[in-house]
């Protein structure tokens, strides 16, 4: 019953910026780590950035210094601010979250959920 919905993707020129959002909805008790992953055509999915419930972040070397991951725990939403975009950033970006259900039937543990992905295209 938990859903993640990404938004904010689009087409931008190299050097431009985009801000992605990932909104978790449904029966939610708590969310531990949230993360952003991306997958380019014909490539493996790779980790872009993660953020813990306490705000500790981790970035892939390829995006560190250009991307910023954040979250609003009150809104169950994560963000990915992408600056100085490069053509190699072109990919489908997916949101991931480890969620404990707010339902009493969900159990006292977190399980992973994925969003549907949003396309980011960077032209040279």
Please compute, for residue 38, the number of CA atoms within 13 A of its CA located in the half-sphere on the CB side: 21
pLDDT tens-digit map of 1-16: 899 999 999 999 999 9
Task: From 7, 43, 40, select the one nearest 24 (Cα to Cα).
Answer: 7
Show the DSSP H helices in 27-100 as ranges.
none
Does the pLDDT of residue 106 top 80, yes or no?
no
Residue 17 CB coordination number (10 Å): 12
Q: What is the pLDDT of residue 107?
A: 84
Alpha-carbon distance 122 to 15, whole Å? 9
Residue 88 CB coordination number (10 Å): 11
Using DSSP's 3-state secondary structure scheme, residue 95 falls into strand
Q: What is the pLDDT of residue 104?
A: 80
Q: What is the pLDDT of residue 105?
A: 81
In a 10 Å sphere around its CB, with 0-12 CB exposed, 13-18 middle and 19+ buried, how is residue 109 labelled? exposed
Q: What is the pLDDT of residue 84?
A: 98
Task: From 97, 95, 93, 86, select the one nearest 120 (Cα to Cα).
Answer: 93
């Amino acid at each position: 019953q938990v859903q993640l919905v990404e938004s904010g993707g689009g087409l931008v020129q190299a050097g431009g910026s985009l801000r992605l959002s990932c909104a978790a909805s449904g029966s939610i008790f708590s969310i531990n780590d949230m993360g952003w992953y991306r997958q380019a055509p014909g490539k493996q999915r790779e980790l872009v950035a993660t953020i813990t419930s306490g705000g500790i972040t981790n970035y892939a070397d390829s995006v560190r210094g250009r991307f910023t991951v954040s979250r609003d725990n009150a809104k169950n939403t994560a963000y990915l601010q992408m600056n100085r975009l490069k053509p190699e950033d072109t990919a489908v970006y997916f949101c991931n979250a480890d969620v404990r259900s707010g339902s009493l039937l969900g159990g006292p543990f977190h399980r992973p959920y994925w969003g549907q992905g949003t396309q980011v295209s960077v032209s040279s």
